[in-house]
Amino acid sequence: MRDLLYGMSSLPSDYFAVFGIPVTLALDLPELQRRFYVLSKQYHPDRFGRATAAEQQYALDFTSLLNDAWRVLRDPQARAEYVLQNNGLEAGDSRGNPPPAELLEEVFELNMALEELRQGEAEARGPIREALDRFLALREALDSEREALFLRYDANPAAETLRQLRALLNRRRYIENLVRDAQQALS
Amino acid sequence: MSVFQIDFGSPDSGQESAPPRVVGIDLGTTNSLVAFLDLTAPKVILGPDGAALVPSVVSFPAGAEPVVGAAAQQALLADPANTVYSAKRLMGRGAADVAGELALLPFPVAPGSESVIRLAVGGREVTPPEVGAYILRQLKQNAEAFLGEPVTQAVITVPAYFDDAQRQATKDAGRIAGLEVLRLVNEPTAAALAYGLDKRQNGTIAVYDFGGGTFDVSILKLQEGLFEVLATHGDTHLGGDDIDNLLLRVALEDIASEWGADLSGNHEALQRLRRAIIDAKHELSTRPVTTITFDDGGREYRRQLPREVFDQLITPIIERTLASCRSCLGDAGLQPAAIDEVVLVGGSTRIPLVRQAVRALFEAEPHTELNPDEVVALGAAVQAGILAGTVEDHLLLDVTPLSLGIETMGGVVSKLILRNSTIPASATEQFTTAVDGQRNVLIHVLQGERELAKDCRSLARFDLKDLDPVMAGMARIEVRFLIDANGILRVSAKDLRTGKEQAVEIKPSYGLTDEQVEAMILESFDKAEEDFKERQVRETRVEADRILAAVEKAKQDEAWFALPPAERAAIDLAINELLLSYHGDDYVLIQQKMEALDHASRGLAEAMMNSAVRGALKGTKIE
């Protein structure tokens, strides 16, 4: 296993390179996981308990990069944000932004219900649950849209596709926050 | 093989090819023990008293050497003010963290205990890592006596929920004891490793680890030798001690109302009462009812304690562990039914109510085949084998129990590495200056899940020093935060404008400085090495006596006289050389001379063997 380290002085340049794959948005997760396990078994610092300090350092650096990469790439949202960021398209923080126009009314109603629940009105739970169901459905629709954009980008990595993806991710993040607020209020 | 041949064992017959052995140590709140990997199975090492468990108690009698283990446990009653127990609960803590706890302990805390607790015992001050070091040194000596070789490297286990300071303090304890700590392993993970060696190959397991002072729960996925921790949760201040304290409070109230006496200031009486309570607690694990018996100055306190009452008393404590388990399941994204197996670790899992509660929560019959007191040390020995390269088909992928973040504007924490991230894990962050010509940037690093810095645990302040004086906002320093496989933070920084390494000064919020640890090593470690050498010399002389006696006896045999004169001369020469080295204190030299004599006398041994065989065959017919 030490041969693997021989001559390797620089770390892979990006998360995809760690796994030895090209930049891909529509990833085969089981395959990625298989590679994660194989690479872990090869490079984990525990495999280098008797190695030189330099080899141990490389094992530590490589494995932390591998773990970071696995954490980001296995999550479609984080993966897409990573690719956007690498293309200079920083995703904005959606918290301060106004809600997407088509959601204005929904968000207003949810906030009302959340406020009522905070005031101790238990009957507000009904409307919150209904809103939650709608947001979950919306999130699901966005997820299939996102998957379609992933495939389109993989076939033809155009900047325009990335911009569409960024808009979609922002919307999805907004909805994700609503889902979380509603779930927290109900739990 | 000659009849005189003696197995010298390592370090000598091991030669350079055999690397030093790595032992696995469970440094527990109540008891500690050491294990090693024997061929393929982990085994616990017994001390000179024949017991595997060394009580985690150190007594510091005034003007005398510290006493460790069972002997120190006796001193708990005789000399409570100078006897330290449960020091693990004070590891990596400041006095303010454990104020409530310290009030119950019989030993006073010295001033200046804000970042490291200093216990005033036996006319000196000791820190929790030093107390740990005395226990570790005892285990090291037990292992050396048992294995017959020096032990310098170890894997030590820590509660999974230990934060950075607590881990660092444990590592410091190892260093003070003269042990290189190759890895800190989380206790529940170690337990899974011990079980996993001969259990099912794939599945999801939960480890419920309820010890003397800490509680942990970990959920792992086992897959072809890979032990992947999905999530961990716990409380480093929740254990059997808390149950004892609870019962102690009840008993003290009883006594106060029965006798009209407040015993809480009487350390000697408190220790005896605590002992009586622990005995009663243990008895309730196998019996439906027990009696706490305690007498003091002719007065007697007896209280019958049925298990139902005990169960009622401890239910809030058990409930806290269950809440932890539910959080852990949630973090792992699993329902209780998804757990295939449950492993119980720690002495407190002997309590019937605990077993019942765990069974009900995970809907699975918990495993108890391995001794819950030993399973963690056994797992540590397996991990030692993994690091030494002798166990190749297993690997642990553990996680960090707490999120790591930095303090930003307004005292808010910005999280960089989330809890339950597989370690090693890293994050990079860019920093700049706010004022023209600013020469340094201070970064406050914290651990915890809360939003505000004041609610998280301060880990350290990192000072980026000697920055080039540039305009505000022009500096670009990239800081890399890396949590290593021990769960300990490492920080490095780079000036992105120059590409040069940026100096970082670390000011840990809790714990000892490197220099302090160094000074402690010099105090205790040198002597340990001397002790070891002395023991080796004495043991080697015993071996030499045996071989010399055997050769002297052989010289009476007819085989001796049949030997060529040159060979006889060589044997005599080897005997003389061994005798010359015998009174020196170089045990390696004595061993070499023993081997030389053994080698020289090989022909004699063979000749004797042959004549013995001939003698044995005499009179038997060969058909």
Contact assignment for A68 to B425 by CB distance below 8 Å: yes
- Sequence ranges of chain B with CATH classification 3.30.420.40: 22-239+314-397
B41, B181, B336, B385, B395 from B378: Cα distances, Å = 9, 16, 27, 11, 15
- Sequence ranges of chain B with CATH classification 2.60.34.10: 404-511
Which amino acids of B are annotated catalytic? 26, 88, 187, 209
Tell me which chain A residues have a C-beta less than 8 angstroms from the C-beta of B389.
49-50
Give the distance from residue A167's alpha carbon to the nearest chain B alpha carbon, in angstroms: 25
Give the distance from residue A32's alpha carbon to the nearest chain B alpha carbon, in angstroms: 16
The span from the first CA to the last CA of chain B, in angstroms, equals: 29
Pairing of strands B289-296, B153-158: unpaired
Question: How many whole angstroms separate alpha carbon B187 and alpha carbon B205?
Answer: 14
Q: What residue in B sits closest to A43 (Cα-Cα)?
A: B395
Helix (H/G/I), strand (E/B), else coil: B473: coil
The 10s digit of each residue's pLDDT in A79-116 is 999 999 999 887 655 455 666 777 777 777 788 888 88
From the list A41, A50, A63, the residue facing B19 with the nearest CB is A50
Tell me which chain A residues have a C-beta less than 8 angstroms from the C-beta of B182.
49
Tell me which chain A residues have a C-beta less than 8 angstroms from the C-beta of B22.
49
The 10s digit of each residue's pLDDT in A51-86 is 888 889 999 999 999 999 999 999 999 999 999 999
Tell me which chain B residues have a C-beta less than 8 angstroms from the C-beta of A40.
226, 395, 397
From the list B19, B422, B485, the residue facing A45 with the nearest CB is B485
CATH number of B404-511: 2.60.34.10
ipTM given for this complex: 0.85
Tell me which chain B residues have a C-beta less than 8 angstroms from the C-beta of A71.
421-422, 425
A8, A15, B423 from A5: Cα distances, Å = 5, 19, 20
The 10s digit of each residue's pLDDT in B174-219 is 999 999 999 999 999 999 999 875 566 688 999 999 988 889 999 9
Q: The domain at B240-313 falls in which architecture?
A: Alpha-Beta Complex (3.90)
Give the distance from residue B550's alpha carbon to the nearest chain A alpha carbon, in angstroms: 41
Give the distance from residue B391's alpha carbon to the nearest chain A alpha carbon, in angstroms: 10
Q: Give the residues across from B462 on adjacent strands.
A: B443, B506
Is there a cis peptide before residue B508, judged by omega within 30 degrees of 0?
Answer: no
From the list B421, B424, B425, the residue facing A45 with the nearest CB is B424
Nearest alpha carbon to residue B594 among B610, B582, B612: B582
From the list B19, B223, B396, the residue facing A46 with the nearest CB is B396
| pLDDT the model gives residue A42 | 92
Spell B478-508 as b/e; 16+ CB within 10 A means b. ebebbbbbbbbbeeebbbeeeeeebebeeeb
From the list A49, A67, A68, the residue facing B389 with the nearest CB is A49
Q: What residue in A sits closest to B395 (Cα-Cα)?
A: A41
> Residues 35 to 64 of A: which have CB under 8 A from any B CB?
37, 40-41, 44-47, 49-50, 60, 63-64
B524-617 fold: Substrate Binding Domain Of Dnak; Chain:A; Domain 2 (1.20.1270)
Give the residues of chain B that fall short of pLDDT 50: 1-16, 621-623
Contact assignment for B426 to A45 by CB distance below 8 Å: no
CATH number of B22-239+314-397: 3.30.420.40
Question: How many whole angstroms separate alpha carbon B306 and alpha carbon B409?
Answer: 55
Give the distance from residue A93's alpha carbon to the nearest chain B alpha carbon, in angstroms: 14
From the list B388, B421, B424, the residue facing A63 with the nearest CB is B424
Give the distance from residue A187's alpha carbon to the nearest chain B alpha carbon, in angstroms: 13
Q: What residue in A sits closest to B484 (Cα-Cα)?
A: A60
A/B interface, count of CB pairs below 8 Å: 57
Helix (H/G/I), strand (E/B), else coil: B530: helix
Contact assignment for A71 to B386 by CB distance below 8 Å: no
Q: What residue in B sits closest to A68 (Cα-Cα)?
A: B425
Contact assignment for A40 to B397 by CB distance below 8 Å: yes
Tell me which chain B residues have a C-beta less than 8 angstroms from the C-beta of A70.
422
Q: The domain at A2-74 falls in which architecture?
A: Orthogonal Bundle (1.10)
Contact assignment for B386 to A49 by CB distance below 8 Å: yes
Question: How many whole angstroms separate alpha carbon B478 and alpha carbon B448?
Answer: 23
The 10s digit of each residue's pLDDT in B278-311 is 999 999 999 999 999 988 878 888 989 999 999 9
| pLDDT the model gives residue B508 | 84
Q: What residue in A sits closest to B386 (Cα-Cα)?
A: A46
Contact assignment for A67 to B425 by CB distance below 8 Å: yes
| pLDDT the model gives residue B405 | 92
A2 touches chain B (CB under 8 A): no
From the list A46, A65, A68, the residue facing B485 with the nearest CB is A46
Q: Give the residues across from B532 on adjacent strands.
A: none
Pairing of strands B341-345, B203-210: parallel
Q: Is the pLDDT of residue A122 over 90?
A: no
Residues with Cβ within 8 Å of residue B127, at least 6 apart in sequence: B116, B117, B118, B119, B512, B520
| pLDDT the model gives residue B510 | 87
- Sequence ranges of chain B with CATH classification 3.90.640.10: 240-313
Contact assignment for A49 to B482 by CB distance below 8 Å: no
